């Protein structure tokens, strides 16, 4: 009888999963009915429910799940050695596993994941993302280089204290408020941006921030070099607003950061974008890429040196594995370039520059 109930539950959940998959096959449906339809209400509710808490509920949830999985793994290994793994029958074990996996798939996609299939920011802005030429890539490198150096010079002449965590998140909210005046679809209220409880672990696993689709919270690893954090914060807010793909979240983060009146935000976003564009150019013309990089001001190079030293000090054999797994996750969600999807913001920047003549 118990087996039958599980089979019925699996059949129902499988049907829901199939319907989600079929719905996601149409970017038009996703954009109209989900991303700009029901999802803003889901996002608002989650941020309203948990955003006011000063700590990350999602991080606690991840911690508890990790502990539970560790206990389960230990018990499974013990059962294997004692030959009791299938004491209740192999069918019920696989049924329970199937139910858990199907529930995760349904919840993940219903609460956020369907956004991977939306038409996205390019459609909203009327941008045509096409294959760009090496000359266009060099032009982008040149423009971003000038931006980075000019803003860095201004910051050096008018030094200001680096913002603390709360101030950082407050300025990120202000950046989106400013962007919302020009782009109505970038409405971000209430806020739910928080310091990652696992930032120390993130340093070794290689993440600066992440979005929790089950709680609607955006987490930022505030232990990383400070000049990276404004753009990271804006990137995570973009995820909260339904821009699931990494290149789109990077571009939306750009739209918000440059709308801010804070030069520290301008520096953070333009430097990150220069690094993406320069990396793309390096794969095609390493000599030109190195020539642009050498023109960065000494203070900018010092920031990059700090980042390199930070990364080296946390280097470990686990990070490449995590990076590979994350890349496979991205590939399975409409991003065939895997972790290189972040770099693809370069295509958005070139299209935007061609359309508006400015960055």
Tell whether the model's pLDDT for residue 227 goes beyond 90.
yes
- Cβ neighbors of 93 (< 8 A, separation 6 or more) are 85, 86
Residue 81 pLDDT: 62
Of the candidate ranges 89-103, 161-175, 269-283, 344-358, the one whose mean pLDDT is the lowest: 89-103
Residue 40 · residue 242 · CB < 8 Å: yes
Rounded Cα–Cα distance for residues 163 and 176 (Å): 17
Is pLDDT larger for residue 156 or for residue 352? 352
Tell whether the model's pLDDT for residue 1 goes beyond 60.
no
Report the mean per-residue pLDDT for the chain: 89
Nearest to 16 by CA among 117, 110, 94: 110
Phi-psi region at 159: left, alpha or beta (left = phi > 0; alpha = psi -120 to 50)? beta
DSSP, res 131? P
Residue 338 pLDDT: 62
Tell whether the model's pLDDT for residue 339 goes beyond 70.
no
Residue 79 pLDDT: 67
Residue with token string 């399975």: 332
Domain boundaries, the chain: 2-117, 122-356
94-149 pLDDT, tens digit per residue, is: 777 888 899 999 999 999 999 999 999 999 999 988 888 899 999 999 999 999 99
Tell me the mean pLDDT in the region 283-310: 94
Instruction: List, in sequence order, every residue forming a beta bridge with 212; answer none if it has no partner.
Output: 217
Residue 201 pLDDT: 85
Distance of CA 292 to the CA centre of its chain: 27
């Amino acid at each position: 009888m118990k087996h039958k109930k599980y089979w019925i539950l699996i059949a129902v959940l499988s049907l829901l999963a199939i319907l989600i998959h079929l719905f996601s096959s149409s970017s038009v449906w996703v954009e109209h009915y989900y991303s700009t339809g029901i999802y803003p209400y889901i996002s608002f509710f989650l941020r309203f429910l948990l955003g006011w808490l000063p700590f990350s509920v999602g991080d606690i949830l991840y911690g508890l799940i990790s502990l539970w999985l560790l206990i389960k793994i230990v018990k499974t290994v013990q059962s294997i050695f004692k030959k009791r793994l299938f004491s209740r029958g192999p069918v019920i074990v696989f049924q329970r596993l199937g139910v858990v996996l199907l529930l995760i798939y349904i919840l993940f996609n219903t609460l956020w994941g369907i956004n991977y299939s939306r038409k996205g920011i390019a459609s909203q802005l009327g941008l045509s993302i096409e294959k760009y030429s090496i000359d266009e890539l060099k032009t982008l490198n040149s423009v971003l280089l000038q931006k980075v150096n000019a803003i860095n010079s201004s910051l050096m002449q008018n030094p200001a204290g680096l913002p603390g965590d709360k101030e950082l998140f407050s300025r990120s909210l202000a950046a989106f408020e400013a962007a919302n005046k020009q782009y109505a679809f970038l409405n971000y209220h209430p806020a739910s941006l928080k310091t990652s409880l696992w930032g120390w672990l993130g340093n070794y696993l290689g993440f600066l921030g992440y979005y929790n689709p089950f709680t609607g919270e955006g987490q930022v690893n505030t232990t990383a070099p400070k000049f990276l954090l404004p753009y990271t914060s804006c990137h995570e807010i973009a995820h909260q607003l339904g821009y699931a793909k990494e290149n789109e979240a990077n571009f939306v983060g750009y739209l918000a950061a440059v709308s801010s009146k804070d030069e520290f935000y301008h520096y953070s976003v333009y430097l990150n974008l220069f690094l993406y564009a320069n990396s793309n150019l390096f794969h095609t013309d390493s000599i030109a890429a190195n020539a642009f990089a050498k023109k960065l001001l000494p203070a900018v190079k010092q920031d990059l040196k700090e980042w390199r030293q930070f990364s080296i000090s946390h280097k470990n054999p686990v990070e490449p594995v995590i990076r590979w797994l994350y890349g496979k996750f991205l590939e399975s969600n409409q991003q065939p370039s895997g972790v290189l999807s972040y770099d693809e913001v370069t295509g958005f920047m070139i299209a935007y520059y061609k359309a508006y003549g400015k960055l």
